[in-house]
Every structure is written in structure tokens, then in C-alpha cells.
């Protein structure tokens, strides 16, 4: 019997495994193989997005594992995201159906608005859009996302890269509440205030870049490479990455580590059979630098740019 991750209950009653496979920068055959490996290892939560250009490969891997009888559709939690080029209200449902068709599934467990900022639409294949930004109000986009839940196509909807004020604006004006906010979060960028805010408002924080995209040549970040991190890892008989993921899970965050290396995908999953002491959680908190690795700086002049606020 494969060991599975525990689940966290979302505000709409859905249950989400507390750790998922991230697939940003996993291209084509890599995304396909990583997803298959992850499911075999025990992952039941896969995170993709329209802009990752790998929904087809992720979907193919999931469907093959269903066909092999390894999983049933209802046993796996699939998240994808609405790209900036599809924020215009009349484009939202079509964009969703494009993602659904890429994945080859009947429904999506969670559909996120990737950013609060819209980009000018040229065509669907211009996936990343350009820095021609639009003034589409994310509330108008959100109202169209709510209709996907009404249609039974998305089980839950949520946010990504929203700050606290923007989250509150959605909550004050929505019919269907966002269940998560997916943001950058790791020991170097802990999002403490945003996490507290999310908790007060019933949202779960999911973490992209939970290991801050390590750079071995630079021995960065410190929480993966420095002496204290090595000592902590040694104390628990784990890797520094496992310590980091365990820390995030213990503070109530759902990490989405990305890897295409089967050994690392497996290592990242082996974090449910030990617990960090309160003292070691405090030691991890000492790594906070406030430094983002993904600042979306090309959008910083936009009125909905989320990162000018403190949180």
C-alpha cells in the first residue's frame, strides 16, 4: 500500500493533500514523466497552469495512471490556472475549457487566477502574453470563474499572487469564496502576515518555490546549504530540502516542490513520518530575509501589482 499525504479541508469542504507536485518549468516529456513518477510514489496533488505549457502532458500522465488502475479520478487533486491573457470576462470560460481539453479531464479540482493582472489577448498560443497589460478588474474575471463552479467544471476556485487587500476585495464582492491563495513561500520568504490574514479569512496558503529554486553553484539559499541547515538535517537523518518542506507543512502551508528528478520527487514526499521540534521550527524562522525569487517586476507599475503592499 502506497503511503499518502494527509489532507487539509478547504472552506468549501474539498480535501486537498498537504503536499503537491509543482510543474512550473517542467516541459513536455519531463512533465509527463515527473507526473507519472509522482503518482507512483504517492502524490495525489498535481499543480499545473495554462502558462506552464504542460497541461497536455500532465493530463496524459494522470489519465494513464487512471487507466492502469493506480488511481481513480476522484483520488487525485488537480489544480490549473487562468492565464493573464484570458482575464477578459468573455474569455474566461473558453480559456477554462481549453485547459480542461488539454488535460483531457471531465472537471478540475481547483482553478486559480494566476495573477490579479490581465494581459492583452492576441491569441491562445501567445501563452505568456506580453507586458501589454490591461485594466480588466479581477472582480469581473472572478465572477466568470464562479460560473465554472455552477457548471460543475471546477470544484473549487482560488487566487494566486494576490495580496491581503486584493483578497479582501474578492471576499467582499464574491458569491463563491476563494479557497486558497498560491504564493511564493519558503523559509527565506515566510509570508507570516499574509498567512495570518489567510487563516482569519478561511483561505489555505499553497507555496510555489518552497525551496526557493536552489542554486548549488552559489550555495544559495542558506536554509538549504548553510551549516545550521546541515546540522538540522543530520539531527533528523533527512536532507535540508526535507527539513524545509516539513517546516512549511507544520506552519500550515501546502508546499508544491517542483522536480523532474525521480529520486528528488520521492525524497520530497518523505516528510510525513517525522516532526520538527518547536525549537527547530524557530530556527527555521531565523532564515527570513524577505527576498522574493519571483517578483513579477515587469508588471510593477500596474494598479493591481500585488507586491507594493507589505503583504
- Percent of the chain topping pLDDT 70: 100
pLDDT at 150 over 80: yes
pLDDT at 64 over 80: yes
pLDDT at 214 over 90: yes
The answer for residues whose C-beta is within 8 angstroms of residue 259's C-beta and 6 or more apart is 21, 34, 265, 268
Where residue 186 falls among pLDDT bands split at 50, 70, 90?
Answer: very high
Query: Which letter does DSSP use for residue 159 in this model?
Result: E
> What are 66-125's pLDDT values in tens digits?
999 999 999 999 999 999 999 999 999 999 999 999 999 999 999 999 999 999 999 999
pLDDT for the residue 1 = 67
Enzyme catalytic residues: 52
Cell 483578497 belongs to: 167
pLDDT for the residue 28 = 78
> What are 238-285's pLDDT values in tens digits?
999 999 999 999 999 999 999 999 999 999 999 999 999 999 999 999
Where residue 231 falls among pLDDT bands split at 50, 70, 90?
Answer: very high
Mean pLDDT value of segment 10-23: 98
Where residue 130 falls among pLDDT bands split at 50, 70, 90?
Answer: confident
Burial class (CB in 10 A: 0-12, 13-18, 19+), 10: buried
pLDDT for the residue 79 = 98
d(CA 242, CA 271): 6
The torsion of the CA quartet 225, 230, 232, 238, rounded to 10 degrees, works out to 100
Question: Is residue 153 a contact partner of residue 101, using CB atoms and an 8 Å limit?
Answer: no
Mean pLDDT of the residues in the chain: 97
pLDDT at 27 over 90: no
- Percent of the chain topping pLDDT 90: 95
Mean pLDDT value of segment 200-218: 97
Output b/e per residue, 51-76; b: 16+ Cβ within 10 A.
bbbbbbbbbbbbeebbeeeebeeeeb
Cell 512550473 belongs to: 24
Distance of CA 170 to the CA centre of its chain: 19
Mean pLDDT value of segment 38-63: 98
Bond before 41 cis per omega within 30 degrees: no
Question: Is residue 84 a contact partner of residue 95, using CB atoms and an 8 Å limit?
Answer: no
Residue 201 assigned to a binding site:
no
Amino acid at each position: 500500500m502506497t503511503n499518502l499525504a494527509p489532507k487539509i479541508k478547504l472552506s468549501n469542504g474539498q480535501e486537498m493533500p498537504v503536499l503537491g507536485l509543482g510543474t512550473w518549468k517542467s516541459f513536455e516529456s519531463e512533465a509527463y514523466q515527473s507526473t507519472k513518477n509522482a503518482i507512483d510514489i504517492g502524490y495525489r496533488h498535481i499543480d499545473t497552469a495554462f502558462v506552464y505549457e504542460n497541461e497536455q502532458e500532465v493530463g496524459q500522465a494522470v489519465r494513464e495512471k487512471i487507466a492502469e488502475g493506480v488511481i481513480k479520478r476522484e483520488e487525485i487533486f488537480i489544480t490549473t490556472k487562468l492565464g493573464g491573457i484570458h482575464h477578459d470576462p468573455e474569455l474566461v470560460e473558453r480559456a477554462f475549457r481549453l485547459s480542461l481539453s488539454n488535460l483531457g479531464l471531465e472537471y478540475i479540482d481547483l482553478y486559480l487566477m494566476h495573477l490579479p493582472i490581465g494581459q492583452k489577448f492576441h491569441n491562445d498560443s501567445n501563452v505568456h502574453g506580453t507586458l501589454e497589460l490591461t485594466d480588466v478588474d479581477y472582480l469581473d474575471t472572478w465572477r466568470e470563474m464562479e460560473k465554472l463552479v455552477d457548471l460543475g467544471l471546477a470544484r473549487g476556485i482560488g487566487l494566486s499572487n494576490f495580496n491581503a487587500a486584493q483578497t479582501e476585495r474578492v471576499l467582499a464582492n464574491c458569491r463563491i469564496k476563494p479557497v486558497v491563495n498560491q504564493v511564493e513561500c519558503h523559509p527565506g520568504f515566510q509570508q507570516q502576515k499574509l498567512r495570518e490574514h489567510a487563516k482569519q479569512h478561511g483561505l489555505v496558503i499553497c507555496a510555489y518555490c518552497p525551496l526557493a529554486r536552489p542554486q548549488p553553484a552559489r550555495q544559495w539559499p542558506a536554509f538549504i546549504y548553510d551549516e545550521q541547515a546541515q546540522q538540522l538535517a543530520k539531527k533528523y537523518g533527512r536532507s535540508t530540502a526535507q527539513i524545509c518542506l516539513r517546516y512549511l507543512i507544520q506552519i500550515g502551508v501546502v508546499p508544491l516542490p517542483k522536480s523532474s528528478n525521480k529520486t528528488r520527487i520521492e525524497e520530497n514526499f518523505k516528510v510525513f513520518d517525522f516532526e520538527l521540534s518547536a525549537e527547530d521550527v524557530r530556527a527555521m524562522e531565523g532564515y527570513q530575509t524577505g527576498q522574493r525569487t519571483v517578483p513579477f517586476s515587469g508588471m510593477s507599475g500596474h494598479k493591481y501589482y500585488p507586491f507594493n503592499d507589505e503583504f
